[in-house]
Amino acid sequence: MENLFNFGRMSHLVSPSILTANFANLQAEVEMLNQSQADWIHVDVMDGVFVPNISFGFPVVKSINKYAQKPLDVHLMIVEPDRYLEEFKEAGAAGITVHYEACTHLNRTIQKIKELGCRAGVAINPHTPVALLEDVIADVDMVLIMSVNPGFGGQKFIQNTYKKIREVKQLSATRNPGLYIEIDGGVDQNNVAELLQAGANVLVAGNSVFSAANPVAAISQLKNS
Ligand code: DX5
Ligand code: ZN
């Protein structure tokens, strides 16, 4: 049940990752998310170059968007994302997140995402220090902290993430207090409280939602934590 007595605390967002959904019946999976307390739908695009896995491209994103009643939170794990920003916008992306490690001219990429009318995010891999975001933090709408090495769902959460959340929170406090701080990888019932306490305000969850006996209830649990 919705926590009706949770006055005063900014509620966090839940963005279930479609990567772990049943691809043979994506329409049903998207309709399940429509009925749930999910705020966004996290869409993981992998190119087999930036990460050692290939997921899907534009036709699948378009198909998801056809049925989605929630904003698509598109996470690009691809090299040279600049080449495809317009097409992802066309495919239905409300937000586009690119990897710090994949962008030579990150400032330009961020500006382009914003010009397209999308929420602009930058993601950092587990080995990338938060300090490198110093000169981009004021320009982005979201920082995505990878809490696993990108490429696959269902991996083990990396504990060093808590420290990085606190660092992003501190870095954004004066320069971008409205920043979305999204955590991606290994998020579940066991770490949600600590993640929120550290300063996360958007939770991505793949395996813990889609492998649950009741995915709608799993989403509610993350949302009402
Ligand atoms: C990993 C992806 C994640 C992944 C999360 O490269 O970016 O979004 O789907 O899945 P879980 O929650 O299963 O770790
Ligand atoms: Zn992701």
Mean pLDDT over each residue of the chain, to the nearest integer: 96
pLDDT given for residue 113 in this prediction = 98
Looking at the DSSP bridge assignments, the partners of residue 44 are 75
Kindly tell me the sign of the dihedral angle through the C-alpha atoms of 78, 82, 86, 89: positive
135 tagged catalytic:
no
What letter represents residue 96's amino acid?
I
pLDDT at residue 77 in the model: 98
Using the atom order of ligand 1, give the atom closest to the CA of residue 157: 14
How many angstroms separate the CA atoms of 188 and 207, rounded? 8
CA distance from start to end of the chain: 11
pLDDT (0 to 100) of residue 6? 46
Which of 44, 47, 73, 141 does the annotation list as catalytic? 44
| Residue 203, pLDDT score | 98
Cα separation, 132 vs 25, in Å, equals 40
Ligand nearest to the CA of 155: 1
Tens digits of residue pLDDT in 159-168? 999 999 999 9
Q: Check residue 193 and give its pLDDT.
A: 98
Instruction: Supply the angle between the helices 215-223 and 26-35 in degrees, to the nearest 10.
Output: 40
| Mean pLDDT for the stretch of residues 87-96 | 98
Least confident of 2-16, 25-39, 124-138: 2-16
Ligand 2 centroid to residue 171 C-alpha, Å? 22
Ligand nearest to the CA of 187: 1
What are the distances in angstroms from CA 148 to CA 123, 140, 141? 12, 22, 22
Q: What is the pLDDT of residue 3?
A: 45
Quote the ligand 1 centre to 163 CA distance (angstroms).
20
CA proximity to 183, closest of 117, 97, 113, 103: 97
Pick from 12, 2, 4, 8: which is nearest to 180 by CA?
Answer: 12
Q: In the predicted model, is pLDDT for residue 10 greater than 70? A: no
The closest residue, in CA terms, to atom 9 on ligand 1 is 153
Task: Output the DSSP codes for the chain.
Answer: ---TT-TTSPPPEEEEBGGGS-GGGHHHHHHHHHHSS-SSEEEEEEBSSSSS-B---HHHHHHHHHH--S-EEEEEE-SSGGGGHHHHHHHTEEEEEEEGGG-TTHHHHHHHHHHTTPEEEEEE-TTS-GGGGTTTTTT-SEEEEESS-TT-SSPPPPTTHHHHHHHHHHHHHHH-TT-EEEEESS--TTTHHHHHHHT--EEEESHHHHTSSSHHHHHHHHHT-
Is residue 1 scored above 50 in pLDDT?
A: no
Using one digit for the tens of pLDDT, what is the confidence trace for 196-209? 999 999 999 999 99
Measured from CB, residues less than 6 Å from any atom of ligand 1 are 17, 19-20, 42, 44, 75, 148, 150-151, 153-155, 184-187, 204-208
Across residues 151-179, what is the average pLDDT?
98
Least distant ligand from the CA of 185: 1
Residue 8 pLDDT exceeds 50: no
Q: Work out the percent of the chain whose per-residue pLDDT is above 90.
A: 95
**Looking at the predicted structure, is the pLDDT value of residue 2 above 50?**
no
184 annotated active-site = yes
Q: How far is the CA of 77 from the centre of ligand 2 (A)?
A: 8
| Centre of ligand 2 from the C-alpha of residue 149, in Å | 10
